């Protein structure tokens, strides 16, 4: 974790994302391993002294306090000697309300606000204590699709402006890839890969990372002399050094192209097709093999049952 970066913890449900986040916050404790904050071991530091800002999936705003009092809570909770002056607290709350674009809402109660507004308040409340690291637990999970998109963009802007070191948990690949500087992919409590969105997409370290980041096609292949062959025809892929024999080739739907039978790696018949956002997705049934999904530009519809050949133009083979 680098200072000032926006890191996404991505993984299927049950992979330990939230647990990891809670351990970083000090709300849960690790069985082994340590938590290091800027060189200091924080494993045994109690939650109050960790200086983290935590944003919960379901906001966890204080229902009985106004928006302004919610944001000021962390400052008011400090010991008198460390507590800022009343006017100073008021000024800071005002600044944060400006930042989250809810300036007129200081005297409202959380129940009078929409989900998106509540989550912004929760973020302002966490930022008010000037945390060393901001932790967001599926911050947009409880919001509907449109609000979620707006908030994503908005969070990115806030991060760019404040440079606040931030970790957020999500199970939504798009969210992680769009928002973060780096993505950490978790599975069953293990860290699979950490890298920039480009790195994890272009060079996934395992089939699991690959599968989790999007639709994946699996094809039986043979590795031979540094080449990968499917149905006896070479593909553009190079096999990792020393790998020979049967392997699995993984590809994205757009890494398959329709081709004439004499150059195709795979053969099958069209089962169904549908259009989505200017692209066409076609399911192709293969004899004695798994159905594959092909993504192509939105041209003429292919009739159901039509025989087609597919050519592999990209993909991955893992040792």
Residues lying near other proteins in the complex (CB under 8 A) are found at 25-27, 47-54, 56, 58, 60-64, 73-74, 77-78, 122, 125-126, 128-129
Q: With respect to other proteins, which residue has the nearer C-beta, 134 or 176?
A: 134
The secondary structure of residue 34, as a DSSP letter, is -
CB-nearer residue toward other proteins: 92 or 311: 92
Nearer to other proteins, 9 or 126 (CB): 126
- Residue 62: Cβ within 10 Å count: 13
Half-sphere exposure of 246 (CA within 13 A, CB side): 4
CB of 178 to other proteins, least distance (A): 26
The residue to which tokens 């400090």 are assigned: 78
In terms of CB distance, is 25 or 256 closer to other proteins? 25
**Nearer to other proteins by C-beta: 65 or 243?**
65
CB of 135 vs other proteins, minimal distance in Å: 8
Using DSSP's 3-state secondary structure scheme, residue 38 falls into: coil
Considering the complex, what minimum distance in angstroms separates the CB of residue 19 from other proteins?
14
Which helix (DSSP H) or strand (DSSP E) does residue 65 occupy?
none
Evaluated on CA atoms 311, 314, 318, 319, the torsion sign reads: positive
Contact, 315 vs 250, CB < 8 A?
yes
Q: Cβ of residue 123: shortest distance to other proteins, in angstroms?
A: 12
Beta bridge partners of 316: 250
Cβ at position 32, least distance to other proteins in Å: 21
CB atoms within 10 A of CB 154: 15
Q: What are the b/e assignments for 275-292, b being 16+ CB within 10 Å?
A: eeeeebbbbbeeeeeeeb
Residues 6+ apart with CB under 8 A from 173: 10, 212, 213, 214
The nearest distance, CB 279 to other proteins, in angstroms, is 37
Residue closer to other proteins (CB basis): 92 or 125: 125
CB atoms within 10 A of CB 150: 12
Q: Tell which residue, 307, 314, 305, 287, has the closest CA to residue 295.
A: 314
Smallest separation (angstroms) from other proteins to the CB of 145:
24
Considering the complex, state which of residue 121 and residue 228 has its C-beta at the smaller distance from other proteins: 121
- Which of 53, 75, 71 is closest to 62 using CA atoms? 71
């Amino acid at each position: 974790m680098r200072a000032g970066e926006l890191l996404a913890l991505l993984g299927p449900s049950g992979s330990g994302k939230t647990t990891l986040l809670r351990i970083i916050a000090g709300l849960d404790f690790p069985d082994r391993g340590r938590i290091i904050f800027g060189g200091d071991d924080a494993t045994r530091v109690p939650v109050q002294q960790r200086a983290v800002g935590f944003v919960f999936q379901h906001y966890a705003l204080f229902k009985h306090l106004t928006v302004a009092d919610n944001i000021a809570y962390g400052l008011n909770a400090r010991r008198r000697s460390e507590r800022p002056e009343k006017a100073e607290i008021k000024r800071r709350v005002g600044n944060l309300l400006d930042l989250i674009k809810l300036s007129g809402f200081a005297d409202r109660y959380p129940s009078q606000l929409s989900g998106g507004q509540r989550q912004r308040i929760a973020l302002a409340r966490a930022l008010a204590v000037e945390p060393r690291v901001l932790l967001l637990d599926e911050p947009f999970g409880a919001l509907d699709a449109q609000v979620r998109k707006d908030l994503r963009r908005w969070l990115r802007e806030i991060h760019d402006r404040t440079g606040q070191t931030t970790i957020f948990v999500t199970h939504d690949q798009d969210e992680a890839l769009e928002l973060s500087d780096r993505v950490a992919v978790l599975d069953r409590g293990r860290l699979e890969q950490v890298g920039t969105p480009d790195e994890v997409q272009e060079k996934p370290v395992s089939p699991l990372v690959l599968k989790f980041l999007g639709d994946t096609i699996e094809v039986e292949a043979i590795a031979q002399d540094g080449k990968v062959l499917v149905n006896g025809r070479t593909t553009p892929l190079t096999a990792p050094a020393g790998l020979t024999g049967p392997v699995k080739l993984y590809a994205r739907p757009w890494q398959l192209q329709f081709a004439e039978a004499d150059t195709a790696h795979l053969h099958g018949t069209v089962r169904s097709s549908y259009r989505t956002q200017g692209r066409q997705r076609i399911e192709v049934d293969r004899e004695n093999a798994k159905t594959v999904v092909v993504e192509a530009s939105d041209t003429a519809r292919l009739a159901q049952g039509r025989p087609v050949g597919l050519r592999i133009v990209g993909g991955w083979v893992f040792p």
